[in-house]
Structure 1
């Protein structure tokens, strides 16, 4: 059973593989009907305590969910926008060695795709899975020639980001701020890159939901993006029913008085 999203929840959601199905190319994801409206309503019901925590660029997330602009941790926590719109970023790190390595791999193997972000890069091998070992070895070598960088391997992707930031550190930063502070954190994600977030929320007495298969530290699991979407929509309806009940109860109290 998935945990309940209640009025005192601080809700954190990954994007790819969690809110949307993984696509053949990063720009090809499709936004499910009703997703934006559900997120908007949930954010209102939680008094703004709903944030995206993703490896994507913030600009991409805003465009996919336009006109909605949620508090967001992008590029695995390297960029963060608080609920009041304040932007914070990790220190820029020299990525020349890993960019050269990734660029050489892409030029030699057409099935690879390099996604360059603001403070991070992603090397996608979804269309050339046989190159996984080569990509990992070469990018590890690139990291060894650099300082201040971390490598993470996700679903057919190798992410390079500044060291010291993660989805876990991003969630911790949100939880120190309004409107998240004092609430029970809940994070849903699907990939190895989400494990730091799972560990963080559970260390704070919260809940973690793993979408799909694979080993995880998360205490809860749902089978698919569709099931997660149904869970979010059921939370919207349950909160609306609670609000209606409370409103009716207050009305009855006024009449009896």
Structure 2
């Protein structure tokens, strides 16, 4: 029994639900493509999407193509690459200005050629260097990526769990959530955002400033108002929202 989710905010009819992916909906894996999708995840998200009138969005550092592939045939509104790209509830794509990733790509290719434990992801507008299989290279990765970022204009470096992300400056998970909250069907709702990493802190801060709730999954310091032990407990929380009895509104009451 997962009772720990009972301390989390209730997913109510007026909720706008924002969810990180890795470390939140799925367990972290040794390689980004090696994640295991829980068998009930897609059906749970689809049911919540219906129950909340479409006010469910993924907010992730991943590429949109990858998330759509993991959750096919479900296509949710989503913000990807740490806010650099967004697909709104109407299927419209909104992107930050393109960034020049040439210096970053060259530096990462040279580093990965010397150290087989490293893996890099060249995304549309962002870039990630993963060192989960070579954690002893953290300082070296940070140094090389910082130097490459300094040669590139308009890039911001972030450090996550065994990953160094470079994204367009001026966008974040927080700016993406704010943009969703300005549009239907999210506007006027109470935002709730669940995430697990330091890269989610902007989003936590944003929803709390808007009168909503932040849920930090797993350990570590956070500005989030609520805590959830792990991925399985978060899944139980999402599923519990589907089990809530619906209030019926009969057309006419008996006289």
Q: Which TM-score band (shorter chain)?
A: over 0.9
Which residue, out of 15, 23, 31, partners 1:9? Answer: 15
Partner Cα separation in structure 2 for residue 255 and residue 190 of structure 1: 47
Which residue, out of 60, 85, 89, partners 1:83? Answer: 89
Query: Which runs of 5 or more residues in structure 1 are unaligned?
Result: none
- What's the CA shift for 1:203? 0.7
Name 1:116's counterpart in structure 2: 122
Secondary structure in structure 1 of the residue aligned to 2:153: coil
Which residue, out of 249, 253, 256, partners 2:254? Answer: 256
Secondary structure in structure 2 of the residue aligned to 1:83: coil
Kindly report which structure 2 residues correspond to 1:209-228, keeping only aligned pairs within 5 A, or say none.
Answer: 209-228=215-234
Partner Cα separation in structure 1 for residue 182 and residue 253 of structure 2: 41
Name 2:79's counterpart in structure 1: 73
Secondary structure in structure 2 of the residue aligned to 1:17: coil
Partner Cα separation in structure 2 for residue 99 and residue 51 of structure 1: 30
**Higher-helix-fraction structure:** 1
Which residue, out of 190, 193, 197, partners 1:191? Answer: 197
Name 1:134's counterpart in structure 2: 140
Partner Cα separation in structure 2 for residue 205 and residue 36 of structure 1: 28
- What's the CA shift for 1:255? 5.2
Partner Cα separation in structure 2 for residue 127 and residue 104 of structure 1: 17
Secondary structure in structure 2 of the residue aligned to 1:256: coil
Name 1:246's counterpart in structure 2: 248
- What's the CA shift for 1:99? 1.2
Name 2:184's counterpart in structure 1: 178
Secondary structure in structure 1 of the residue aligned to 2:202: helix
Secondary structure in structure 2 of the residue aligned to 1:31: coil
- What's the CA shift for 1:48? 0.3
Kindly report which structure 2 residues correspond to 1:16-27, keeping only aligned pairs within 5 A, or say none.
Answer: 16-27=22-33
Q: CA RMSD in A?
A: 0.9
TM-score by length of 2: 0.96
Query: Which runs of 5 or more residues in structure 2 are unaligned?
Result: 1-6
**Deviation per CA, 1:39-75, whole angstroms, max 9, x where unpaired?**
1111111000000000000011001001100000011
Number of residue pairs matched by the alignment: 249
1:52 counterpart = 2:58: yes
Which residue, out of 235, 238, 244, partners 1:229? Answer: 235
TM-score by length of 1: 0.95
4+ runs deviating over 2 angstroms: none
**Deviation per CA, 1:210-235, whole angstroms, max 9, x where unpaired?**
00000100010100000000000001
